[in-house]
Amino acid sequence: MTARVFSESVCALGEGPLWHPQDNALYWFDILGKRLFRSDGSDERSWAFDEHVSAAGWIDTGVLLIASETSLSVFDTQNGESTFLHPLEIDNETTRSNDGRADPWGGFWIGTMGKNAEPKAGAIYRYVDGALHKLFDKITISNTICFAPDGSYAFFADTPKRKIMRVALDADGFPDGAPELFVDLTAEGLNPDGAVVDATGRLWVAQWGAGRVACYTTDGAFDHAIHVPASQATCPTFGGADMTTLFVTTAADGLDPATPQDGLVYSASVGTTGQKEHQVRL
């Protein structure tokens, strides 16, 4: 199965797709372009920021929590106003935000990384109840942050290690014990980027450089893959009226030359129902 073009807006580094269940629209970012996009399939608009922005969770109709280079903020898409919520490595000029997603408790997990992928410069945090908690450190490229449908596990990866990890969560949504290996992509030379878990618990992970989103069973076995016409697939998410459409962001950055297919957003009807994105509770 091959995905089709959903948005022709070219992103240098498309990332962070989020289907907003109340807006019935897809939001996504161009990290390097410092821009947020929104499309309901017929109407598209965007907003410019003065620093890198990379990931979001939905708070209310038209209202997002946005992770940027230095902070977490509340962004109102109706008037374009941003309200500072909490600093994020604000004194570290080396890093920026990267992959992130709301968890089943209404918290928000957000990873950071070096702007030039400096080794072990990043970390993964959880924002909940007004506080930011560091969960994992010495991360080079934080990715693959997503959650099992029953809230029993979180998944994450440090992309250069080519290993997707799974960690058990306690009753409050914090890691309970050490992370364990879930999928090892080392032998195949595949790079795990953003990921999402469907309603049955299967993991769908974009694989940078491979032009695909791969699906893995609840046991970590490869099931099948969706071809993406752009080589640098960055992150998938489920959306649409029945939550059976898989949207995929891609990147054109680093390709010489880039093709007209690179940096676009794609979609595919995959016959699988995704989880509705969890609401961020402030």
Write out the catalytic residue numbers: 193
DSSP states along 61-103: TTEEEEEESSEEEEEETTTTEEEEEEESSTT-TTEEEEEEEE-
Distance CA 140, CA 1 (A): 32
Residues 6+ apart with CB under 8 A from 93: none
H or E element in which residue 222 lies? strand 222-227
Question: What strands, in cross-sheet order, belong to the sheet with 81-87?
Answer: 53-60, 63-68, 71-76, 81-87
CB 161 within 8 A of CB 191: no
